[in-house]
Amino acid sequence: MKRACIFLCVGFFFVFQAAAQSAHFKYAVIPENPRPGEPVTIGVNDTVKQAVLFANEKQLAKAAFFSVSLPEGMPGFMAAVLTVPSTVSPGAYTIKLENDSVLICEIPLTITEREFVSEVIELNSDLTAIRTEPDPQKTAEANRLWAILARTGNEVYFSGKFIPPVSSTRRTSFFGDRRVFKYSNGKSDTSIHAGVDYGVPTGTRVLACGSGKVLLARGRIVTGNSVVIEHAPGIYSLYYHLDKIEVKENAMVTAGDLLGLSGATGLATGPHLHWEIRVSTENTDPDAFVGRSIIDKDLILSKIYR
Ligand SMILES: [Zn+2]
């Protein structure tokens, strides 16, 4: 009789604990039905380490949570931003919120349909060489850029909406274009376009799409004169093929500040600005954060503290 009571009490304790946990833990997912290539912002009212996007048991993307502070007297929260890879098919997926390997919560996510443009790009012998010839300097530059994009800082320099980096709306390539490169030697290769290309003349003013810290401002073999800005943990904007760079590495910039003048340096078939957004290393549709804030604080607060 005594033993039965102990089991009963322990049982009640766990039921009570589970109820308390589920009543307390709240999350917000924005948007609830993303398309391939679009970022998803997750806000939570408790401590969580990472968000991982799964297709069944296969991991597709992940992002670390960071603290978002609010004016004094308001409760802060934690946020993570991950991007649905542009190669993902529409359907039902799961975001798992984890503390180390402990599962905190599973969130169902429906990814909707999206079509991408196909294009063929013919490269002359010089551009073919840039893309195909092995070069230790090219490898070192790729490793250096990856080290920047893969790090997750702590600072939220910017959480609002991006502004387009040029005033022109003329685009010569779109995010996620399925590309075939035709080389001068008759061979070919495929790739997916990681950003958007603005067809603007050399010398066009290129502006920071949001405030942040300049982590790279230098010439690179493939992308020419390049600038990379960190806006928030894991969230970066990149500007390629500039004719001239007007900022220094480690400088702080404000949205709208001049970064440089557009050009056709590196692997470019003509003058244009390549503008790219990376979220936790994944290529992300740059238009997504023009249309909505990276972290919509009011919307998140309304969902997790209601
Ligand atoms: Zn491009």
The residue whose two tokens read 């999206």 is 114
Topology of the domain comprising 118-290? Glucose Permease (Domain IIA) (2.70.70)
Question: What is the model's pLDDT at position 23?
Answer: 59
- Residue 304 is inside which H or E element, if any? helix 297-304
Retrieve residue 254's tokens: 């404000």
Q: Is the dihedral of CA 249, 252, 254, 258 positive or negative?
A: negative
Q: CA-to-CA distance for 95 and 106, rounded, in angstroms?
A: 6
Could you tell me which residues come within 8 angstroms of residue 155 by beta carbon, excluding any fewer than 6 positions away?
213, 230, 232, 233
The residue assigned the tokens 């009570």 is 16
CA of 197 to the centre of ligand 1 (A): 5
CATH fold of 26-114+295-304: Immunoglobulin-like (2.60.40)
Distance 138 CA to ligand 1 centre (A): 18
CA angle 35, 22, 28 (to 5 degrees): 30
- pLDDT for the residue numbered 192: 96
Residues with CB under 5 A from ligand 1 (ion): 197, 274
What span, in angstroms and rounded, lies between the C-alpha atoms of 226 and 238? 7
- Cβ–Cβ under 8 Å, residues 183 and 131: yes
> 193 CA to middle of ligand 1, Å?
6
Give the Å distance between the CA of 273 and the centre of ligand 1: 7
Structure tokens at 184: 């001068």
pLDDT at 65: 97
Q: Say what the pLDDT of residue 8 is.
A: 43
Ligand 1 centroid, distance to 265 Cα (angstroms): 12
Structure tokens at 176: 């996620």
Residue 97's pLDDT is what?
98
Sort residue 283 into left (φ over 0), alpha (ψ -120 to 50) or beta.
Answer: beta
Q: Are 232 and 214 in contact (CB under 8 A)?
A: no
Return the domain boundaries, the chain.
26-114+295-304, 118-290
Per-residue confidence (pLDDT) for residue 13, from 0 to 100: 41
Q: What is the dihedral of CA 130, 136, 142, 146, to 10 degrees?
A: 170
Q: Ligand 1 center to residue 220 CA distance, Å?
A: 15
The length of the chain in residues reads 306
What is the chain's pLDDT, residue by residue, as a tens digit (306 residues)? 344 444 444 444 444 444 434 558 999 999 999 999 999 999 999 999 999 999 988 999 999 999 998 888 888 899 999 999 999 999 999 999 999 889 999 999 999 999 999 999 999 999 999 889 899 999 999 999 999 999 888 999 999 999 999 999 999 999 999 999 999 999 999 999 999 999 999 999 999 999 999 999 999 999 999 999 999 999 999 999 999 999 999 999 999 999 999 999 999 999 999 999 999 999 999 999 999 999 999 999 999 987
